[in-house]
C-alpha cells in the first residue's frame, strides 16, 4: 500500500483529494495547522488508513515526523489567493516559500519518490493577445504576491538536482469551483451561484475578463494522475490543469447560471482593467499524461444550486466559507 502525505489536507482541495486517495486504496496522512478548523476531515479519523498530524510546515521536526514512511507528497499547504496573501505579506512569504522549501527538503531527505506542487495558472497574469491561449511555454507574468510565491517555488523545484530522490511535478491549477467538505464561497463560480440561488442581485465588475475554471474534484484527480504515472515523463515537469473548453469570461459564467436560474437579477459595472486576464491551453496534460476533466462549469453550478436550495448548507454567508 502506497503512503501519501497531503499538506493542507483539511482545505478546499485537500479534503477532496484525501477522500479520493483513500477510496483508491492509499494510506493517507494529512499535515495541516487547521487554521480553518478540521470539520472537513473529522469523520476520516475513523478510517484505519488515515492519519492526521496537526502542525506547521515551517516546523522541521514536525515535517520529519510527517514524512516517515511516505512514498508521495501532495503539497497544498499555503496561504491561498490574492486577498489572503495581501493581508500579511511577510507571513505569506514565510509559509508559501520558507515552509515550502522545508517541505521539499524534508521529503527528499526522507526518500519520498514523487512531490506534486499545487501551483496556479495565475502565474500567467495578463494575456498580450486576447485571441491567443497561453501554455506551459508562455511567458510568466505574476502580478500578485500569491502568484509570485508560486512562481518562485516552481523555480526552486525545477532547479533541483535531477539525481534527487524526490522528483517534483508542478501543477498549475485553474480557478477552482465546486462542492467540497470545506466549501468556499469566495471563488467566482461558487460565489456567483450562491448569490443568485439566494435570490439576490449579483453585481459583476468587468464582465469581459477571461479565466480558466476547473472543478475541485478534477484538480484532485490530476494529482492522483501524477502519482499513478509509471514513466518519468512528469518528473521535473509543469502542467496546466483544466479543460481548454472551460475558459470563461465572467459574463459567460453568469449566462450559464441564468440557464438554471432564469429569474436571476444581474447588474454589470464597467471595468476596463484587470491585471488577470488569460485563456489557457491544457493540451500538454491531455497529450502527455492522458488526463481529462470530468466536470464542467454548468455541472458545478447545478451542484451548488442544489446544495443551497435544499439547505445542505444552512448559512452560506458564514465567514468560515471564505479564506479571509
Residue 274: predicted pLDDT:
61
- DSSP symbol at 143: -
CATH 3.40.50.720 is held by the domain 3-175+214-241: yes
Read off the pLDDT of residues 236-274 as tens digits, 9 standing for 90 and up.
999 999 999 999 999 999 999 999 999 999 999 887 666
Query: Quick one: pLDDT band at residue 78, thresholds 50, 70, 90?
Result: very high
Residue 273: predicted pLDDT:
63
**What does the alpha-carbon distance between residue 267 and residue 126 come to, in Å, rounded to a whole number?**
25
**What does the alpha-carbon distance between residue 133 and residue 125 come to, in Å, rounded to a whole number?**
12
In this structure, the chain runs to a length of 324
pLDDT of 285 > 90? The answer is: yes
Residue 182: predicted pLDDT:
97
**What does the alpha-carbon distance between residue 132 and residue 294 come to, in Å, rounded to a whole number?**
25
pLDDT of 209 > 90? The answer is: no
Which range, of 15-29, 143-157, 200-214, averages the lowest pLDDT?
A: 200-214
Read off the pLDDT of residues 19-44 as tens digits, 9 standing for 90 and up.
999 999 999 999 999 999 999 999 99
Residue 246: predicted pLDDT:
98
CB contact at 8 A, 223 and 171: yes
Residue 142: predicted pLDDT:
92
Query: Quick one: pLDDT band at residue 205, thresholds 50, 70, 90?
Result: confident
pLDDT of 159 > 80? The answer is: yes
Architecture per CATH, 177-212+245-275+295-321: Alpha-Beta Complex (3.90)
The whole-number average pLDDT for the span 288-309 is 98
Read off the pLDDT of residues 168-182 as tens digits, 9 standing for 90 and up.
999 999 999 999 999
Residue 207: predicted pLDDT:
84
- The more confident residue out of 135 and 208 is 135
Residue 277: predicted pLDDT:
86
The whole-number average pLDDT for the span 126-143 is 89
CB contact at 8 A, 96 and 133: no
Residues of each domain in the chain carrying CATH 3.40.50.720: 3-175+214-241
CB contact at 8 A, 42 and 34: no
Residue 275: predicted pLDDT:
65
Show Cβ contacts of residue 302 under 8 Å, excluding neighbours closer than 6 positions.
Answer: 260
Rounded-to-10 torsion of CA 180, 58, 120, 108: -100
Residues of each domain in the chain carrying CATH 3.90.25.10: 177-212+245-275+295-321
Rounded mean pLDDT of the chain? 96
Residue 126: predicted pLDDT:
81
Phi, psi of 113 (to 5 degrees): -90, -40
Amino acid at each position: 500500500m502506497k503512503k501519501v502525505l497531503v499538506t493542507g489536507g483539511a482545505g478546499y482541495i485537500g479534503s477532496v483529494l484525501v477522500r479520493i486517495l483513500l477510496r483508491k486504496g492509499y494510506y493517507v496522512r494529512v499535515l495541516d495547522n487547521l487554521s480553518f478548523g478540521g470539520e472537513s476531515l473529522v469523520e476520516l479519523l475513523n478510517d484505519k488508513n488515515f492519519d492526521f498530524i496537526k502542525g506547521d510546515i515551517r516546523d522541521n521536526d514536525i515535517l520529519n515526523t510527517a514524512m516517515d514512511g511516505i512514498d508521495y507528497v501532495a503539497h497544498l499547504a499555503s496561504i491561498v489567493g490574492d486577498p489572503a496573501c495581501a493581508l500579511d505579506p511577510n507571513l505569506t512569504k514565510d509559509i508559501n516559500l520558507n515552509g515550502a522549501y522545508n517541505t521539499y527538503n524534508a521529503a527528499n531527505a526522507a526518500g519520498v519518490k514523487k512531490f506534486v506542487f499545487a501551483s496556479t495558472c495565475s502565474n500567467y497574469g495578463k494575456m498580450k493577445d486576447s485571441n491567443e491561449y497561453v501554455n506551459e511555454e508562455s511567458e510568466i507574468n505574476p502580478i500578485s504576491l500569491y502568484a509570485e510565491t508560486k512562481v518562485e517555488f516552481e523555480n526552486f523545484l525545477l532547479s533541483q538536482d535531477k539525481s534527487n530522490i524526490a522528483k517534483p511535478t508542478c501543477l498549475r491549477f485553474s480557478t477552482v469551483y465546486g462542492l467540497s467538505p470545506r466549501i468556499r464561497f469566495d471563488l467566482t463560480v461558487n460565489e456567483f451561484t450562491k448569490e443568485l440561488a439566494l435570490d439576490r442581485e449579483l453585481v459583476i465588475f468587468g464582465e469581459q475578463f477571461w479565466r480558466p475554471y476547473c472543478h475541485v474534484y478534477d484538480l484532485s484527480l490530476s494529482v492522483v494522475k501524477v502519482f499513478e504515472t509509471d514513466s518519468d515523463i512528469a518528473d521535473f515537469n509543469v502542467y496546466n490543469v483544466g479543460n481548454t473548453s472551460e475558459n470563461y469570461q465572467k459574463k459567460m459564467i453568469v449566462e450559464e447560471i441564468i440557464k438554471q436560474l432564469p429569474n436571476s437579477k444581474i447588474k454589470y459595472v464597467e471595468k476596463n482593467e484587470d491585471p488577470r486576464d488569460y485563456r489557457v491551453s491544457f493540451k500538454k496534460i491531455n497529450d502527455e499524461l492522458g488526463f481529462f476533466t470530468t466536470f464542467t462549469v454548468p455541472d458545478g453550478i447545478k451542484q451548488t444550486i442544489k446544495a443551497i436550495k435544499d439547505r445542505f448548507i444552512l448559512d452560506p454567508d458564514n465567514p468560515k466559507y471564505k479564506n479571509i
